Amino acid sequence: MPSDDDGALISAPENKYRSEFARSCVSEGEARGEARGLANAIIQILEDRNIDVSPDERSRILACSCKETLTSWVGHAVTADVADRLFD
Protein backbone atom coordinates (compact mmCIF):
# COMPACT_ATOMS: atom_id res chain seq x y z
CA MET A 1 0.00 0.00 0.00
CA PRO A 2 1.42 3.47 -0.82
CA SER A 3 2.63 5.78 1.91
CA ASP A 4 3.08 9.53 2.13
CA ASP A 5 6.41 11.30 2.89
CA ASP A 6 6.03 10.60 6.62
CA GLY A 7 5.58 6.89 6.02
CA ALA A 8 1.88 6.91 6.94
CA LEU A 9 -0.23 4.59 4.85
CA ILE A 10 -2.53 6.20 2.33
CA SER A 11 -5.89 4.51 1.99
CA ALA A 12 -7.36 3.75 -1.39
CA PRO A 13 -10.25 5.92 -2.53
CA GLU A 14 -13.72 4.60 -1.68
CA ASN A 15 -14.73 4.10 -5.32
CA LYS A 16 -11.85 2.00 -6.59
CA TYR A 17 -13.71 0.72 -9.64
CA ARG A 18 -13.24 3.25 -12.39
CA SER A 19 -14.87 1.54 -15.33
CA GLU A 20 -18.62 1.28 -15.74
CA PHE A 21 -18.21 -2.43 -16.47
CA ALA A 22 -16.41 -3.04 -13.17
CA ARG A 23 -18.96 -1.02 -11.19
CA SER A 24 -21.76 -2.93 -12.90
CA CYS A 25 -20.18 -6.28 -12.04
CA VAL A 26 -19.69 -5.28 -8.42
CA SER A 27 -23.26 -4.01 -8.14
CA GLU A 28 -24.61 -7.20 -9.67
CA GLY A 29 -22.56 -9.29 -7.25
CA GLU A 30 -23.79 -7.27 -4.30
CA ALA A 31 -27.41 -7.65 -5.41
CA ARG A 32 -26.97 -11.41 -5.78
CA GLY A 33 -25.43 -11.58 -2.33
CA GLU A 34 -28.30 -9.61 -0.80
CA ALA A 35 -30.85 -11.87 -2.50
CA ARG A 36 -29.05 -15.00 -1.33
CA GLY A 37 -28.95 -13.62 2.23
CA LEU A 38 -32.69 -12.90 2.20
CA ALA A 39 -33.46 -16.34 0.76
CA ASN A 40 -31.36 -18.04 3.43
CA ALA A 41 -33.05 -15.92 6.11
CA ILE A 42 -36.49 -17.02 4.89
CA ILE A 43 -35.53 -20.68 5.07
CA GLN A 44 -33.95 -20.21 8.49
CA ILE A 45 -37.04 -18.42 9.85
CA LEU A 46 -39.30 -21.23 8.63
CA GLU A 47 -37.02 -23.93 10.01
CA ASP A 48 -36.70 -22.14 13.37
CA ARG A 49 -40.50 -22.06 13.51
CA ASN A 50 -40.56 -25.83 12.79
CA ILE A 51 -42.28 -25.31 9.45
CA ASP A 52 -41.40 -27.92 6.86
CA VAL A 53 -39.87 -26.59 3.64
CA SER A 54 -40.19 -28.97 0.71
CA PRO A 55 -37.35 -29.31 -1.80
CA ASP A 56 -39.49 -27.50 -4.40
CA GLU A 57 -40.24 -24.63 -1.99
CA ARG A 58 -36.56 -24.39 -1.01
CA SER A 59 -35.56 -24.30 -4.69
CA ARG A 60 -38.13 -21.61 -5.46
CA ILE A 61 -36.94 -19.47 -2.56
CA LEU A 62 -33.26 -19.86 -3.44
CA ALA A 63 -33.90 -19.23 -7.16
CA CYS A 64 -35.60 -15.88 -6.54
CA SER A 65 -33.39 -12.84 -7.15
CA CYS A 66 -36.02 -10.10 -6.72
CA LYS A 67 -35.26 -8.19 -3.53
CA GLU A 68 -38.83 -6.87 -3.25
CA THR A 69 -40.31 -10.37 -3.53
CA LEU A 70 -37.85 -11.82 -1.05
CA THR A 71 -38.50 -9.00 1.42
CA SER A 72 -42.22 -9.72 1.17
CA TRP A 73 -41.57 -13.42 1.74
CA VAL A 74 -39.54 -12.62 4.88
CA GLY A 75 -42.64 -10.94 6.31
CA HIS A 76 -44.79 -13.92 5.37
CA ALA A 77 -42.25 -16.36 6.85
CA VAL A 78 -42.73 -14.77 10.26
CA THR A 79 -46.49 -15.43 10.29
CA ALA A 80 -47.10 -18.33 7.88
CA ASP A 81 -48.33 -21.63 9.27
CA VAL A 82 -47.08 -23.55 6.20
CA ALA A 83 -44.26 -22.70 3.79
CA ASP A 84 -46.39 -22.44 0.66
CA ARG A 85 -48.20 -19.45 2.19
CA LEU A 86 -45.12 -17.41 1.38
CA PHE A 87 -46.13 -17.41 -2.25
CA ASP A 88 -49.71 -16.11 -1.80
Mean pLDDT of 26-46: 82
User: pLDDT confidence of 59, banded at 50, 70, 90?
Assistant: very high
Residue 73 lies in a domain: yes
Decide if 76 is inside a domain: yes
Host domain of residue 51: 20-87
Average pLDDT over residues 61-68: 93
DSSP sequence for 16-72: ---SHHHHHHHHHHHHHHHHHHHHHHHHHHHHHTT----HHHHHHHHH---HHHHHH
Burial of residue 46, with CB atoms counted within 10 A of its CB: 0-12 exposed, 13-18 middle, 19 or more buried: buried
pTM, two decimal places: 0.68
Domain total for the chain? 1
**Structural domain contains residue 9:** no
Whether 2 maps to a domain, the answer reads no
Give domain status of residue 67, yes or no: yes
